[in-house]
Amino acid sequence: MKIAIGSDHAGVEYKSAIIKHLEEKGHTVKDFGPATSASVDYPDYIHPVASAVENGEVERGIILCGTGNGAAMTANKHAGIRAALCWRTDIARLARQHNDANILDLPARFVSLQDALGMVDVFLTEAFEGGRHQTRIEKIPCR
């Protein structure tokens, strides 16, 4: 699968570990940065990930910041994006099954790396259930 990833300085270490994890599993990862842990503004790195998912350049996105909130607020400004802030694997699973989330958003300062990698795996393998959930996600965009 083609996956875009981006973070701020708070998520950059986990970002590297996630990229390694994904590449070992055979995925193609487009890293939108940052490359170092120097302080940055998360919208500069999250908007490009959201755009890549929105325009179909990649199938899914993964974003990280300290709490996950700034990243979620940024990505969810894009009309075609459903970014889910997740801190447990069961929430990541439901974000796919019920919300057809196309971006996984991780709060890097509040989850272990092991849990983050577990959420990544679930996010990439779980299918959307459709049905009543399709009706609901169609009502998300502002008209």
CB of 28 to ligand RB5, least distance (A): 26
Dist CA 34 CA 82 (whole Å): 22
Dist CA 62 CA 29 (whole Å): 10
Instruction: Assess 4 for contact with ligand RB5 (CB under 6 A).
Output: no
Instruction: Assess 8 for contact with ligand RB5 (CB under 6 A).
Output: yes
∠ CA 143-72-130, rounded to 5°: 60
Contacts of 142 (CB under 8 A, 6+ apart): none
Give the nearer residue to ligand RB5 in terms of CB position, either 34 or 94. 34
Give the nearer residue to ligand RB5 in terms of CB position, either 8 or 100. 8
| Coil, helix or strand at residue 103 | strand
- Map the footprint of ligand RB5 across residues 9-68, applying CB under 6 A: 10, 42, 65-67
For residues 64 to 103, the per-residue mask of contacts with ligand RB5, x marking binding by CB under 6 A and - elsewhere, is: -xxx-xx---------------------------------
Give the nearer residue to ligand RB5 in terms of CB position, either 37 or 69. 69
Q: Note if 98 is an active site residue.
A: yes
Count of residues binding ligand RB5 (CB under 6 A)? 8
Cβ-contact 95, 104 below 8 angstroms: yes
The residue type found at 42 is Y
In a 13 Å sphere around the CA of 97, the CA atoms on its Cβ side amount to: 8
In the complex, the residues that contact ligand RB5 under the rule CB under 6 A are: 8, 10, 42, 65-67, 69-70
